[in-house]
Amino acid sequence: METPSDPTPPQDSSDHVAQVTQKAVKGAKIMTLLGFGQVCLRFFSTKATSVFLTNLDFDNFGPGSKLTGIGGFLSDVGLAGALVRKGTEPTDDELITVFLSQQLLAGLFVGGVLAFLPLIRTSLHMNHTATLVLLFLCFGVFLQTLRLIPMLVLERKLKFDAIARCEMLESVVQVLVTITMTLMKYGVWALVAGYWSRGITGLIAIWIASPWRPRGTFRWGIVKELAKFGLPYQLNALIPTLGDFWMVPVLKQLLTEGALGLVTWSGNIASIPMTINNMLVRVAYPAYSRLQADSAALADALQSAVRRLTAIFDLAISPFVTLCPFLIPFLLHPKWAPAVPIVQWLCVQAVVSMLLGTVCSVQNALGKASERMWVTVGMAVLRWVTGYWAISRFGLAGYGPIGLATGAFELWVSGVLVRRHNPQSATLLHDLFGPLLISWVTLGGALGLGEALGHGVLWQKALVATLAWVLLSALREALTPFRMLRSELGPLLALIQRKRS
């Protein structure tokens, strides 16, 4: 059964649509700049940790990091997301109810980790260091829950300039602390210190930017009402995290020590372009929620977004994929050369994840959170089953392809469902998979030429593949109707310049 729509959806007029669009474009530009800044910071951090940390350090950090991420989702159950979507302004009782609920759930998560620590340690094959890392990280969940309400207030008002300043500050502090402690040879504890320094700095900054004062009365009735949408909404984020968690026990059980660290490190590299997309998705959900009553405007915004995202990240990610065999050993460290194929697969998969995040934002904005939940449940089961089979059959080489295949299938299912609920999105699947397949064919041909003409030398393979990608892309744009770059980037630049003027 579907989650009922917000009983008081916003009444959209043409003026309201224009106002929301203007704020969304401004927010997207601000968050994109923040994303670029964080990408630069993450490069310096990754450079330092790649040289001075080992795959065993990342192996020890991986389980605690994954479990803490799960704890962050469990500590909210989607109540904040329900308030973001709400058509009317939240009351004091609603805000204090959500705030206190989040602290209670965070306490239950930490208590659960402590109670079941022996079982967790045994099932995930964690050594003493990894266990201590988990304990230090799990208490950091409170750094997330204490900031959610002030952040929610800013997001509802689409004030992403204030959010960007706070998050840039916390990123700078995290990178400085991580690099400093890495150079001092603290090993995995440099990553832990960076996590805590980021959390504390961000918590202080967001409360200064949004000085919300707790007041009102806690009411269970509010929890029950918001949870009708919020629980499925939050499970939509939690279940994929659990689905991706399959790699921790599987890699620990089937492969040698350090394999998880190799995958964790590769995931950190491949997630760098996701930094920018995550910023855009944060703008998209509240913006789409404001447009939920205007089917045509929502469909146009979604279809334009997915086409332009594919074009932008094809231009940004594909050359990185072709240059990976040279860039990773040269810029980071030769010891990470075995991670090159994993990074390449994960970068290609990142584009699918970006498109999926945008489609899911619309699905949630339309009030179909429970439907989204069942999709994520099915995909989590599929990832566990196919992931175990792929790793047991092909070893670490099976990790990347199976992730891309399951991600593309989830994107297709989600596109079908959104098109059903918003008939105005009739060309959504074409807009999703047309440019995506064109990008894959171009990239696959370039990598194939690099492998064939590179004579086994890393820098030659990378150079040939990159030049081939440039040539194939130019021919595609000039001689075929599949002009994904010219047809999308030009109008996007014109839109940005028009909003600026």
- What confidence tens digit (pLDDT) does each residue in 232-261 have? 766 666 666 666 655 666 666 655 566 666
Residue type, 301: A
- How many structural domains compose the chain? 2
Same domain, 43 and 145: yes
Query: Which range has highest mean pLDDT (48-52, 268-272, 473-477)?
Result: 473-477
- The answer as to whether 501 is a domain residue is yes
Q: What is the mean pLDDT of the chain?
A: 79
For 77, phi then psi, to 5°, come to 50, 30
Predicted TM-score of the model (pTM): 0.61
pLDDT at site 11: 45
- Kindly list the distances between the CA atom of residue 279 and the CA atoms of 42, 184, 199, 282, 305, in Å, as whole numbers in the listed order: 15, 32, 18, 5, 14
State the first-to-last Cα distance of the chain, in angstroms, to the nearest integer: 47
The arithmetic mean of pLDDT across residues 158-167, rounded, is 79
- The answer as to whether 250 is a domain residue is no
Angle between helices 295-327 and 428-453 (to 10 degrees): 10
To 5 degrees, how large is the angle CA 403–CA 407–CA 408? 120
pLDDT tier at 264, thresholds 50, 70, 90:
confident
The domain boundary, picked from 178, 208, 230, lies at 230
3-state secondary structure of 375: helix
Give every CB contact of residue 463 below 8 A, 6+ residues apart in sequence: 326, 450, 454
Same domain, 313 and 219: no
Q: What whole-number percentage of the chain has pLDDT above 70? A: 77
Query: Which range has highest mean pLDDT (12-26, 138-152, 384-398)?
Result: 138-152
The boundaries of the domain holding residue 402 are 294-501
Query: Which range has highest mean pLDDT (59-68, 412-421, 486-495)?
Result: 412-421
Same domain, 223 and 364: no
- The answer as to whether 262 is a domain residue is no
More reliable by pLDDT, 423 or 247: 423
Query: Which range has highest mean pLDDT (167-171, 266-270, 487-491)?
Result: 167-171
Least confident span in 199-213, 263-277, 348-362: 263-277
- The answer as to whether 459 is a domain residue is yes
pLDDT tens-digit series, residues 469-494 = 999 988 888 877 777 776 666 666 66
Give every CB contact of residue 216 below 8 A, 6+ residues apart in sequence: 91, 92, 93, 94, 95, 96, 97
Same domain, 218 and 335: no
The domain boundary, picked from 230, 257, 286, lies at 230
- DSSP assignment of 408-476 equals HHHHHHHHHHHHHH-TT-TTHHHHHHHHHHHHHHHHHHHHHHHHHHSTT-HHHHHHHHHHHHHHHHHHH
The yes-or-no verdict on residue 413 having pLDDT over 70 is: yes
- The answer as to whether 223 is a domain residue is yes
- The answer as to whether 243 is a domain residue is no
